[in-house]
Amino acid sequence: MAFYFLSFLFLSLISLLQHPLFSTSTTLHTTSLFRSQLTTQLDSSSNNNNNATPTTYFEVTKPINLPKTKPFSYLILQHDFAYTYGKPPILANYTPPSNYTSQKFSRIVLEWNATCKGRQFDRIFGVWLSGVEILRSCTAEPRANGIFWSVKKDITRYYSLLMTNQTLVVYMGNLVDSTYTGVYHVKLFIHFYPVEDIYSDGKKNPKYFYEAFDTGADLILPISRNFPLNDGLWFEVENSSDVVSKEFKIPRNAYRAVMEIYVSFHENDEFWYSNPPNEYIRANNLTGTPGNGAFREVLVSVDDLVVGSVWPFTVIYTGGVNPLLWRPISGIGSFDLPSYDIEITPLLGKILDGNTHKISFSVTNALNVWYIDANLHLWLDEKSVKTEGKLLKYNSLPLSFALVTNFTGIDGSFLTNASRSIALTGWIKSSYGNITAKSTQGLSYSNYMVAGNEGNLQIVDQVNYFNDTVDFMMASSSVKSLESFKKFSLLLYSDNVDKGDESYASISNVTLGFDDRRVKTSEYGSLASSTENMQKAQGDILVKGRLVVSGVGSTQQVYKYKDDEYCYSRNISSSNYTILHDKVSDSCPRSTSSCRPFNFM
């Protein structure tokens, strides 16, 4: 059995039959009826009662830290997403809580609730406010008896946007016909939590020592596509030479700028981390096999100057690898895809001239298709009409890349290593003084892939390391720094065994996780936090012809969060829709590992 067939079977079960609509760039998940039959066959054989209680799906994460105040809650959208593929996004008027214009809010939460019944693939979707993306997510795949899932996201960082009238935009490209019957019934809420009295003793809380640098942005500019559209507002990157851009202009009194990037990968690059090198594909005369190797990076440029890079977390959507793995515990990041921040304050001096400038995105080695957009967060000096700045130093070394291949015929191994560093230093003069800002990114990557057993076995072992640092140096010689140290890890294993009579068994194992440690430092002290999130999943299916006649999926997950004041952990496991174990703790053990950064590099 060819390796390229296994690559797709292992990761998305898409090699048997593709729906015609998947041949173009759409938000429809590249897949086949094979996976749909997996869902339908198992449900129909074990759940004949369509009136049974719907299954609740969820993503394991830390609860949002909410104040004790009673929220003002608003239903901002209720809609049934039926046949929405190739149609314009859903629009609605958004207005802030007008009766509480004098009220200050310490937390604002977006809540997405949805139900679905029948047969349907996973669909990528996005939520925007006047072009600013505030949520990217993947739908859960339904069952005959129905499902429910909820996503709650802290959107307080969009505070300034949420306090003015906006246009709400939601796009989900869904397909409904006699085969794909699932309609997604959606309700979207926003909850506003009034601020508590955090300074009851009249003293300054050391948690709030960042002043102008630790508050939400005063203005958020959308770096996304404009209407009219029959798709999402994201840009589409379809190949390695594709560059998408948007012009923008910023107010002349800005003193800080952060680019927030949303990224998702689909179709031929949904499982880019398993793509073999092109030389392997050519040597084995493989056709229809996604290639370009297993390395991708999203490059972000301002006026054609590379200012940052995103090496994305390997989100596995709810139908990926073996769909039974993600029921009811969804894959890490699948219900709330991460966004990635790039500090561009050192560059402000080049874009404060009142002229139009350009932000561009490209993806190294890309295949069709990547969805990318961004939000430009700007802090404005209300005491100044005009700020000044200058880029003092720019250092962006070329990508360091190495590929070692070792294969004979269809079996072999591939080792890919890459690293990159980007550093910018500049000063900005405002009413807060003359501040020197320095931002640095250090990234490293390794991917080891094995194809064996005449192409029936595949292993992918990948790890990414990220060190991001932002320093603000004041004229008084004081330094405020923000440091982030991340590790993304992925281990995939798949093996097929011929059972005769046009049947075979497929076994797949997945280990997926991340470590994220952050430190804020100033003359007042430091704050540190750490998050460790790890999933392990195992599944096997028996396939006869194009029908999955039996299967099982089990998942275990351990989530741990710790900062200087709060701890949270959850240890949970499931098998075939059933929760086997679930232990939650919000107390800190007497002896805990340090939140301080560890050395990745």
pLDDT digit string (tens) for 17-61?
233 222 222 333 332 222 333 333 555 444 445 567 899 999 999
The 8-class DSSP code of residue 58 comes to B
Which residues in 195-297 belong to E strands, given as ranges?
219-223, 235-237, 244-248, 254-265
Q: In what order do the strands lie in the sheet with 244-248?
A: 244-248, 357-363, 298-302, 305-310
Q: Which two tokens mark 506?
A: 């497929």
Place of tokens 């802090």: 379
Strand partners, 521: 481, 526
Q: Torsion over CA of 270, 462, 138 and 17, rounded to 10 degrees? A: 40
Q: How far apart are CA 363 and CA 455, in angstroms?
A: 29
Say what the pTM is. 0.91
Q: How do residues 505-557 score in pLDDT, each as one tens digit?
A: 889 999 999 999 999 998 888 999 999 999 999 999 887 775 667 899 999 99
Q: How far apart are CA 580 and CA 571, in angstroms?
A: 11
Q: What is the pLDDT of residue 18?
A: 30
Q: How do residues 293-322 score in pLDDT, each as one tens digit?
A: 999 999 999 999 999 999 999 999 998 888
Burial 153-177 (b: 16+ CB within 10 A, else e): bebbbbbbbbeeebebbbbbbbbbe
Q: What is the pLDDT of residue 102?
A: 65
Q: How far apart are CA 356 and CA 303, in angstroms?
A: 10
* Closest among 395, 471, 397, 474 to 429, alpha carbons compared: 474
Phi, psi of 239 (to 5 degrees): -160, 180
Q: How do residues 256-299 score in pLDDT, each as one tens digit?
A: 999 999 999 999 999 999 999 999 999 999 988 899 999 999 99
Q: Which two tokens mark 422?
A: 């980007």
Rounded (to 5) percent helix, strand, coil in the chain: 10, 50, 40
Q: What is the pLDDT of residue 202?
A: 36
How far, in whole angstroms, is CA 302 from its chain's centroid? 22
Q: β-strands 400-408, 305-310: how paired?
A: unpaired
Q: Which two tokens mark 373?
A: 């957009």
Q: What is the pLDDT of residue 523?
A: 82
Classify residue 74 by burial, with Cβ atoms within 10 Å: 0-12, 13-18, 19+: middle
* Closest among 243, 207, 225 to 171, alpha carbons compared: 225
